[in-house]
Amino acid sequence: MSWLFDPFSLEFVQRALLGGVLVSVLCAVAGTWVIVRGMAFLGEALAHGMLPGVALATVLGVPVLLGAAVSASAMSLGISALQRRAKLSYDTSIGLLFVGMLALGVIVISHAGSFATDATAILFGDILAIAPGDLVVLALAAVIGVGAAILAHRPLVALAIDERVARVLGLAPRVAQAVLVGLVTLAVVASYQAVGSLLVVGLLVAPAVAARQWTARIASTMVLAAVIGAAAVVVGLLVSWHAATAAGATIAAAAIAAAGVSWGLRAAVTAARRRTASPLLLPA
């Protein structure tokens, strides 16, 4: 069993494991609502919307997470502004800012000269480089995310059912929408270092998709998604260690694989139940 435990005897792998678990909890909370509301495109757009802020922070030598947070927040505010003032649809607003922020990030990277290593870290992350200070930030982000989801649970449920009903019940659907966007932004920014901007959506969406096959309640989906995400982190780190692959990409691939396996198992169980429940057809 040394192949299973030896990698986790090293401190930097232990930090990667703990950081990945914290990211899994945060992504499970935000990702469940993303799946329920059908907002996976928002997570994708915010992940790429971080690129100019991360690139500028790297060039200027300021904390990268600060640049990511500022850039993602600016994009969230921009989406809301385009919806209200330009009267554009939600998808159109996201699409415009998505392309604009991505283009700006590429421009900054191309202008920075020797930026290949930093660009790789931006796109694919480096979970093995998580430091003790990063764990504190991730733990704080997880507490904030879980707390916000608990406090805004009723408005978020009402918003998911019908925005008009939420408004009639006085549950402030605009506030609930802002909380949801804030949760996704927090999850994307916090997960950035672990899996990078290109792969963060996999960890945000895939565990929730896998969990949704087996649960009907929001809270149950979040808990199971957190467990599946943590399992993907463990499997990804082990495979990365023994196969010498990129840790962040391997974790994201493990999460996607979990979603595929979950879907396949659910389909097999449903088919078996239908065969069992079908009455035998006897000849007349």
Residues with Cβ within 8 Å of residue 176, at least 6 apart in sequence: 152, 155, 156, 158, 159, 166
pLDDT tens-digit series, residues 118-151: 566 666 778 888 889 889 989 999 999 999 999 9
Query: Which residue, 236, 233, 134, is CA-closest to 189?
Result: 134
Q: What is the pTM of this model?
A: 0.86
pLDDT band at 110 (very low <50, low <70, confident <90, very high): confident
Query: Which residue, 246, 249, 224, 250, is CA-closest to 236?
Result: 250
Predicted confidence (pLDDT) at residue 229 exceeds the cutoff of 90: yes
**DSSP characters over 209-252:** HHHHTT--SHHHHHHHHHHHHHHHHHHHHHHHHHHT--HHHHHH
Q: What is the pLDDT of residue 120?
A: 66
pLDDT band at 278 (very low <50, low <70, confident <90, very high): low
Contact (Cβ atoms closer than 8 angstroms) between residue 17 and residue 127: no
Predicted confidence (pLDDT) at residue 273 exceeds the cutoff of 90: no
Predicted confidence (pLDDT) at residue 18 exceeds the cutoff of 80: yes
| Host H or E run for residue 9 | none
Phi-psi region of 50 (alpha: psi -120 to 50; beta: other; left: phi over 0): alpha
Predicted confidence (pLDDT) at residue 157 exceeds the cutoff of 80: yes
The residue-averaged pLDDT of 215-222 equals: 93
Residues with Cβ within 8 Å of residue 18, at least 6 apart in sequence: 135
Q: What is the pLDDT of residue 83?
A: 72
Residues with Cβ within 8 Å of residue 234, at least 6 apart in sequence: 17
The residue-averaged pLDDT of 102-121 equals: 69
Question: Quick count: other Cβ atoms within 10 Å of Cβ 89?
Answer: 10
- How far is 107 from 88, CA to CA, in rounded Å? 26
**DSSP characters over 91-124:** HHHHHHHHHHHHHHHHHHHHHTSS-HHHHHHHHH
Q: Could you give the percent of the chain with pLDDT greater than 70?
A: 90
